[in-house]
Chain A
Amino acid sequence: MKVNGTPVHGYDPGARLLDVLRDHLGLRGVKEGCGVGECGSCTVLLDGDPVCSCLVFAGQADGRDVVTAEGLGTADDLSPLQRQFVDHQALQCGYCIPGVVVSAAAHLAEADHVSEDSVREALSGNLCRCTGYSKLVAAVLAAADHRDSP
């Protein structure tokens, strides 16, 4: 598989994708919050689609593109979407945020029309216990505005 654009080899295909990303590749922005697909903290893109990496066997990502929050932008060079999360103070403890940003990025890439409801639906697999979601939604809507009127 390719992870954030770099080919990766030598992992156990029967391991969870989450463990390969965190332990094998050191991508610790991929968080484990429940291990059963309920919290979304481990969300990554698999060929552009958001998935819970705790519920994917690494072997199932063979030959495919995996993108994590680290792959969207770095702290020194944030993506426009990540920038909106910072500017909107759309984070508190931040533990869920890398997964939220990944889900939001997939939504912006896929949806022709982005609305408050579509954003809430797109984030419905990412639990956040700090923010009450309002600022997360606002950040994604702002990013959509910039996307649509650069």
Chain B
Amino acid sequence: MIGPTLSRPRLVRAATTQLADALCARGRPVAGATDLLIHGLDTATPELVDLTAMSDARPPVEQLSGGVTRVSATAPISAIARAPVPIPAALAQAIAQFASPQIRNRATLGGNIANASPAADLVPPLVVTDAVLGLRSADGARSVPISDVLAGPGRTTLRAGEWIDYVDLHPVEHSGFRKLGYRRALAIAVVSLAWSWSATGTRLRDVRLAAGAVAPTVVRCPHAEAALTELTPAVVATAATAIHQDIAPIDDLRAHAWYRRDALSGLVRELAAPTEEQTGTQLSERNTTAS
């Protein structure tokens, strides 16, 4: 079988240079390749620059000053989950619910961002932790907030020859992620919700909500955030309605728009009664009932 040319730069600097060169031949960067290969080698770009062989790549997770967590964008997400440095709960939960063990051993944060699916599992946690992307290209390095990179389905504001090196996550007091898929593994999100906040007593501060698969990109939900002042059923119900002003779902293969609105409201309502999905204990719970 005839495949594309695959170059495997061994140094970060070389990756940047080779990517610039490859551009002339319609090349592109590749890391886990879990989306690229699904869409077929026949029509794939002939020249690929693999970002997974760099010996001077950063560790999967580093703790920076100011509570910032720096996460590699080219490491497999399973390595991020296994790293000794903790990551925000929202991202950890999103990784745990991502595809399957095999895919988690290949997929990368950078790939999930650059692929720019509105249903991307890893992006809502980045949005609620005010993530900043560290980008590299032959022109140099720059930092861009996650929200500025997402442009539409399959579209980002990344420049030609630019690749995602790392993601800086800002500290949050509480965070979480809930995905609604049509089965419990290997499922694309029908809707998803990530949240973060600080709490004083029952009052919430710095509330951030991000929803997936309900708009052309993963979106922040300012109306719902404003409404979500505490976790009482009445307040949460208000936020569950308010969130409809933050989204623009469509009908597609997986769901009708009405259901996406309805189900996202459901995920917001769940915030008043933390479920096993949110705490990640559903499997052990099932085991006890089976015994």
Which chain A residues have a beta carbon within 8 Å of chain B's beta carbons? 12-16, 19, 23, 36-38, 40, 43, 46, 49-52, 54-60, 62, 103, 106, 115-118, 120-122, 124-125
Output the nearest chain B residue to A57 by Cβ-Cβ distance. B6
Q: Please, what's the 1-or-0 string for B73-117, where 1 marks a CB less than 8 Å from any CB in chain A?
A: 000101000000000000000000001111101100000000000
A54 CA to B290 CA in the complex, in Å?
35
User: A116-B290, A117-B286 given as contacts; is B100 within 8 A of A124 (CB)?
Assistant: yes
What are 25 of the A-B contact pairs (CB < 8 Å)?
A14-B41, A15-B1, A15-B2, A15-B3, A16-B41, A19-B1, A23-B1, A37-B99, A37-B100, A37-B102, A46-B105, A51-B102, A52-B106, A55-B32, A55-B103, A57-B33, A57-B50, A60-B33, A60-B52, A115-B284, A115-B287, A121-B185, A124-B100, A124-B186, A125-B101
Output the nearest chain A residue to B37 by Cβ-Cβ distance. A55
Residues of B within 8 A of A46 (CB): 105
User: A51-B106, A120-B283, A124-B185 given as contacts; is B1 within 8 A of A12 (CB)?
Assistant: yes
Q: Kindly list 6 other residue pairs between chains A and B, CB separation below 8 angstroms, not including A13-B8, A120-B283.
A: A36-B38, A57-B3, A60-B8, A103-B102, A122-B101, A124-B185
A-B contact number at CB 8 A: 109
Does B233 count as interface, using CB distance less than 8 angstroms? no
Does B198 count as interface, using CB distance less than 8 angstroms? no
Does B275 count as interface, using CB distance less than 8 angstroms? no
Output the nearest chain A residue to B105 by Cβ-Cβ distance. A49
Output the nearest chain B residue to A118 by Cβ-Cβ distance. B283
A43 CA to B286 CA in the complex, in Å?
27
Residues of B within 8 A of A62 (CB): 8, 53
B72–chain A nearest beta-carbon distance, Å: 16
Output the nearest chain A residue to B82 by Cβ-Cβ distance. A110
CB atoms of A50 and B284 under 8 A apart: no
A124 CA to B100 CA in the complex, in Å?
6
Does B184 count as interface, using CB distance less than 8 angstroms? yes
Q: Please, what's the 1-or-0 string for B11-31, where 1 marks a CB less than 8 Å from any CB in chain A?
A: 000000000000000000010
Residues of A within 8 A of B1 (CB): 12, 15-16, 19, 23
Q: Please, what's the 1-or-0 string for B268-291, where 1 marks a CB less than 8 Å from any CB in chain A?
A: 000000000000000110110010
User: A16-B1, A54-B37 given as contacts; is B184 within 8 A of A124 (CB)?
Assistant: yes
B92–chain A nearest beta-carbon distance, Å: 15
In the A-B complex, list the 4 residue pairs whose CB atoms are closest, starting with the nearest.
A125-B100, A14-B3, A124-B185, A117-B283
A115 CA to B291 CA in the complex, in Å?
12
User: A55-B37, A55-B38, A60-B52 given as contacts; is B3 within 8 A of A16 (CB)?
Assistant: yes
User: A14-B4, A55-B33, A57-B3 given as contacts; is B290 within 8 A of A125 (CB)?
Assistant: no
Does B34 count as interface, using CB distance less than 8 angstroms? yes
Residues of A within 8 A of B52 (CB): 60
B176–chain A nearest beta-carbon distance, Å: 19
Does B143 count as interface, using CB distance less than 8 angstroms? no
Residues of B within 8 A of A19 (CB): 1
A23 CA to B2 CA in the complex, in Å?
13
B258–chain A nearest beta-carbon distance, Å: 28
Partner of A117 from B78, B101, B287 at Cβ < 8 Å:
B287
CB atoms of A49 and B4 under 8 A apart: no
Does B5 count as interface, using CB distance less than 8 angstroms? yes
CB atoms of B50 and A50 under 8 A apart: no
Residue among A54, A57, A116 with the highest chain B CB neighbour number at 10 A:
A57
Does B48 count as interface, using CB distance less than 8 angstroms? yes
A104–chain B nearest beta-carbon distance, Å: 11
CB atoms of B287 and A59 under 8 A apart: no
A23 CA to B3 CA in the complex, in Å?
14
CB atoms of A43 and B102 under 8 A apart: yes
